[in-house]
Amino acid sequence: MDEEIKGESKGRNRFFPSVKWNFYFKFKMDDVILDMRLKTFRYGTEGGPLGFSEMKKAELVFVPTPGAGHYISAVEFAKRLIHTDDRFSVTLLHMRSSLHPHTDPYNTSLLASETHLRIIDLPPVDPPPSHLIHKSVEHYILLYFESFIPHVKDAITHLMSNPDSVPLAGLVLDFFCLPMIDVAKELGLPSYLYLTSGAGFLGLMLYLPTHHSQIGTEFEDSDPDLELRSFVNPVPVRVLPEAVSNKHGGYAAYIKVAQRFREARGIIVNTFSELEPYAVESFADGQTPPVYTVGPVLDLGGQAHSCSDRVDHGKIMGWLDAQPESSVVFLCFGSMGTFDAPQVREIALGLERSGHRFLWALRLLRLDGKLGGSSDGTELSDILPEGFLDRIGERGMICEWAPQMEALSHKSIGGFLSHCGWNSILESIWNSVPVATWPMYAEQQLNAFGLVKELGLAVEMRLDYRQIGGEVVMAEEIDGAIRCVMEHDSMVRKKVKEMGEMSRRAVMDGGSSSKSLGRLIADIMNHPQFPTNTVTN
Ligand code: UDP
């Protein structure tokens, strides 16, 4: 506990530069362990209470799902909100999952640096039966987080019943937490969806209930291309998320989530209007909840990954420092992109043929079939082509987990072979690094399609590859994609650079995303269910 208080006092306190007392305690109530930081008294330098008695204050409860692509993005958005407007504080409900055991060091670091953020660890729940994950990851994840609903309700009820608490202005829910809209409704609170994917994907989710009411069943690869409002071009079914064709719970899970989208009071999207103008404009139809484009929301300080013991940070950054400018191709496939031995060999051969330097974040498919993680005893050198490591020498580096954002911002990186997770796309654009597309799971095929066919912002390697298909992409194709994405004067590189500049302007004062965030803040503060929240301390 002393450690924690020390951490707090060391942390930045840009909102209340005055002396303050913090109370940190844990207690257990109704089976919910509340792990709270209360900022109950704040004193000005003159010793008198600060004059914010007239200031309307608001607390938002964030319910993100763990997993790098969702959790970090939601936390960064919470940080942006409280750094933009000091009337806000955030309580984050932390759902611990066996799929993503790495959130604790990150949470500790957040509590030390963010004075308007508190984290409540919800009690653990039993994961769904493990065989279900092999049938549909999305179904499994949805089931897992639905089990937390009673704990979410207990935690929020407790917060609301505390007369000293800052009034709750609403819930900010992750995609997989949308069923928790029912909790918000029951408690009379508005819900906002925080979407960690792009506006193109939002168009698909808004369309799915219509598909379900008309067709009532899963998509088939042989179905005709789809006319989606968020895409200029017809969209092949093969680039839709695998879940919508999945007959073992995936389709049902997606429909269940999609049906809740229009019940949100607002949809906050981690994109910016200059990136997906066609999609963003398509939502102004009077039937879709207001869409707030607030991105790119990125972990610019690398706070999440600096806490990870998987990061061999110094070694990787030192190696990058020693490479010439724009000479390195970076390969990284998200938090769940894994390969089996034959595919690893082909990637290695492709890299070797291309002649380019490389940084390769590689996670092997475990022999026990579990997702993610590293090799279960198999040595990497047993899998790689014979003599590969000797021939490559200092020309390449292989790691299990790369500090991706930092690597992409390094001058030596010239191109990115990516699984096209939405965060990875935003990070590459922010750093003006062109992507070659190798989508693997979730909505990555749709992202890749959008980047290549709609926006001309990526080099096409694959658009409809699926990790679960077991197909092996051959070295020749990988070599070709690497050579193409590493070209120095390509049109794609020029466009990515322009878009990168736009992405930085979007989040500056007066930029499109800043304005959108301002509209969101006004909506939260002026919500009719939140009229009397003046705190008189
Ligand atoms: N990431 C990282 N190092 C890795 C793999 C992933 O830093 O080796 C980060 C990456 O920068 C991004 C996030 O993890 O912020 C992955 O999110 P994304 O949406 O790209 O993919 P997902 O993991 O959700 O499929």
Please indicate, yes or no, if residue 374 is contained in any of the structural domains: yes
Residue 44: pLDDT above 60? no
pLDDT at 365: 67
pLDDT at 24: 31
Same structural domain, 496 and 511: no
Closest atom of ligand 1 to CA, residue 418:
20
pLDDT tens-digit profile of 212-262? Answer: 999 999 999 999 999 999 999 999 999 999 999 999 999 999 999 999 999
Closest atom of ligand 1 to CA, residue 333:
5
pLDDT band at 517 (very low <50, low <70, confident <90, very high): very high
User: Got the DSSP string for 378-429?
Assistant: --HHHHSPTTHHHHHGGGEEEESB--HHHHHTSTTEEEEEE---HHHHHHHH
Q: Give CA–CA dist 24/9, Å, rounded.
A: 12
pLDDT at 165: 86
CA atoms within 13 A on the CB side of 130: 6
Q: Tell how far the Cα of 337 is from the centroid of ligand 1, in angstroms.
A: 9
Number of structural domains found in the chain: 3
pLDDT band at 434 (very low <50, low <70, confident <90, very high): very high
Test site for ligand 1: of 76, 423, 465, most ligand atoms within 8 A of the Cβ:
423
Test site for ligand 1: of 313, 398, 405, 424, most ligand atoms within 8 A of the Cβ:
424
Please indicate, yes or no, if residue 532 is contained in any of the structural domains: no
Q: Give CA–CA dist 192/461, Å, rounded.
A: 36
Closest atom of ligand 1 to CA, residue 404:
7
Closest atom of ligand 1 to CA, residue 310:
8
Look at residues 260, 126, 76 and name the one whose alpha carbon lies nearest to residue 180.
260
Residue 5: pLDDT above 70? no
Q: Tell how far the Cα of 305 is from the centroid of ligand 1, in angstroms.
A: 10
Same structural domain, 409 and 443: yes
Higher pLDDT, 304 or 523: 523
pLDDT at 68: 87
Q: Tell how far the Cα of 253 is from the centroid of ligand 1, in angstroms.
A: 23
Please indicate, yes or no, if residue 533 is contained in any of the structural domains: no
Give, as one character, the DSSP assignment of residue 179. G
pLDDT tens-digit profile of 91-103? Answer: 999 998 887 777 8
Give ligand 1 pocket residues (Cβ under 6 A): 68-69, 305, 332, 334-336, 361, 401-405, 421-424, 427, 442
Same structural domain, 274 and 368: no
3-state DSSP percent of the chain in helix, strand and coil, to 5: 40, 20, 40
Same structural domain, 18 and 155: no
Same structural domain, 265 and 399: no
Test site for ligand 1: of 303, 335, 416, 427, most ligand atoms within 8 A of the Cβ:
335
Please indicate, yes or no, if residue 530 is contained in any of the structural domains: no
Please indicate, yes or no, if residue 247 is contained in any of the structural domains: yes
State the average pLDDT over residues 465-484: 95
Beta bridge partners of 27: 34
Same structural domain, 248 and 325: no
Residue 134: pLDDT above 50? yes
Burial string for 318-355 (b: 16+ CB within 10 Å, else e) reads ebbeebeeebbbbbbbbbbbbbebebbbbbbbbbbebe
State the average pLDDT over residues 112-134: 95
Q: Give CA–CA dist 467/455, Å, rounded.
A: 24
Residue 521: pLDDT above 80? yes
Q: Tell how far the Cα of 361 is from the centroid of ligand 1, in angstroms.
A: 11
Test site for ligand 1: of 363, 404, 420, most ligand atoms within 8 A of the Cβ:
404
Q: Tell how far the Cα of 344 is from the centroid of ligand 1, in angstroms.
A: 19
Closest atom of ligand 1 to CA, residue 399:
8
pLDDT tens-digit profile of 325-336? Answer: 999 999 999 988
pLDDT at 254: 98
Q: Tell how far the Cα of 224 is from the centroid of ligand 1, in angstroms.
A: 32
pLDDT band at 373 (very low <50, low <70, confident <90, very high): very low
pLDDT tens-digit profile of 145-171? Answer: 999 999 999 999 999 999 888 999 999
Q: Give CA–CA dist 36/30, Å, rounded.
A: 15
Residue 269: pLDDT above 80? yes
pLDDT band at 377 (very low <50, low <70, confident <90, very high): low
Q: Tell how far the Cα of 186 is from the centroid of ligand 1, in angstroms.
A: 35
Same structural domain, 289 and 416: no
Q: Tell how far the Cα of 290 is from the centroid of ligand 1, in angstroms.
A: 28
Q: Tell how far the Cα of 69 is from the centroid of ligand 1, in angstroms.
A: 6
Give, as one character, the DSSP assignment of residue 291. E
Q: Give CA–CA dist 388/375, Å, rounded.
A: 18
* Lowest pLDDT segment from 309-323, 375-389, 425-439: 375-389
- The type of residue at 286 is G
pLDDT at 307: 58
Same structural domain, 263 and 220: yes
Average pLDDT of the chain, as a whole number: 87
pLDDT at 99: 79
Q: What range defines the domain where residue 362 resides? A: 310-500
pLDDT band at 396 (very low <50, low <70, confident <90, very high): very high
Tokens at residue 420, please?
């096209």
Same structural domain, 332 and 457: yes
Strands of 86-143 (E only): list them.
Answer: 88-94, 117-121
Query: Which residue's structure tokens are 């030596």?
Result: 412
State the average pLDDT over residues 315-319: 94
pLDDT tens-digit profile of 52-88? Answer: 334 689 999 999 999 889 999 999 999 999 999 999 9
pLDDT at 366: 55
Please indicate, yes or no, if residue 531 is contained in any of the structural domains: no
% of the chain beyond a pLDDT of 70: 84
% of the chain beyond a pLDDT of 90: 75
Q: Tell how far the Cα of 427 is from the centroid of ligand 1, in angstroms.
A: 9
Please indicate, yes or no, if residue 188 is contained in any of the structural domains: yes
pLDDT at 12: 31
pLDDT tens-digit profile of 349-361? Answer: 999 999 999 999 9
pLDDT at 16: 28
Same structural domain, 66 and 152: yes
Please indicate, yes or no, if residue 46 is contained in any of the structural domains: no
Give the helix ranges, DSSP H, for 11-124: 68-84, 103-113
Q: What CATH code is carried by the domain that includes residue 107?
A: 3.40.50.2000
Same structural domain, 271 and 314: no
Quick one: CA dihedral 190, 180, 103, 69, positive or negative? negative
Same structural domain, 32 and 56: no
